[in-house]
Amino acid sequence: MFLAVDAGNSDTVFGLYNQEKWQHIWRTRTLLEEPMAFHLTDQLPGDPDVMPADRDRYERLLRLWLLEANIPLSAVTSVVISSVVPELTPTLRTTLARLFGFEPVVVGPAIYPALPLQILRPYAIGTDLVANALAAYVRYKQNCVVVDFGTALTFTTVSGEGQMLGIAIAPGLKTAVRSLFANTAQLPEVPLVMPESALGTSTAHAIQAGVVLGYEGLVRSLIQRIRQELKGDCLAIATGGMVTAIPSLHAEFTDIIPTLTLDGIQEIGQRVRTHGL
């Protein structure tokens, strides 16, 4: 079995892949500061970047999930980590190595030569965007823009030849709402649902109109602009944890694939094994 780990700023997702499909997908909050049985100041010998509290949290979760799924640790034979949280990466790497008895692959510039992509700024780009681009390229072999509705709203464009053409980044929907909530005295945090009108008649309605309807226009506008720059030849693919928040956008996309990032991580694992990296 193959285990994909997608560590994002809000959530860390673990996907267990076997027999050509995702058998289990588990999600937990990415909370580095969450208190545990160990003190955060206690560090593992030989790895000053790994905190036992975080290590213990992820190990206990994985053991519990696998136990509930009746899957022995020995069934997991390959692990690939994609992390956009640098301070979490050593913790995940150490935890998974101790748990499964082998070193996981960590997505980064060292393994990019195994991929059929021309990667834009390989030492600066988020590994989740590389995974998205690879999954879209392998699946479609056409110009694609992957719109990822996560902590950030990202637009990753890859050509039919596997060249990453460019990226656009905006705050994600939840990030925008939390920013309003955190930086204003009277605006509450509200659920992200599509309002019936752009004319807000209450504070919650007003925020929903501004954020949800505003992001509807943002996504449409950027997809249109990208297509114009590519002379109209570009599929739009949606993914991410908030992909269902704006139903009116669904018609804009050729496909909506919640597992696209995991699919890319799984494809990276295959390529790395083929090249012996």
Write the pLDDT tens digit of every residue in 137-147.
999 999 999 99
Segment 235-256 shows an average pLDDT of: 93
Asked if the domains at 2-106 and 116-263 fall in one CATH topology, the answer is yes
CATH 3.30.420.40: does it fit domain 116-263? yes
- Report the alpha-carbon distance of residue 143 to residue 141 in Å, rounded: 7
Between residues 54 and 159, the one the model is more confident about: 159
Mark whether 11 is an active-site residue: no
Which of the residues 6, 54, 128, 263 is marked catalytic? 128
**How are the residues of the chain apportioned to helix, strand and coil, as percentages rounded to the nearest 5?**
40, 25, 35
**With contact defined as beta carbons under 8 Å apart, do 30 and 11 qualify?**
yes
Domain segments of the chain: what residues?
A: 2-106, 116-263
- Whether the predicted pLDDT of 57 surpasses 90: no
More reliable by pLDDT, 202 or 35? 202
Q: Which of 50-59, 94-103, 170-179 has the highest mean pLDDT?
A: 94-103
Residue 240, pLDDT above cutoff 90: yes
Pick the CATH number of 2-106 from 2.60.40.1080, 3.40.1260.10, 1.20.140.10, 3.30.420.40: 3.30.420.40
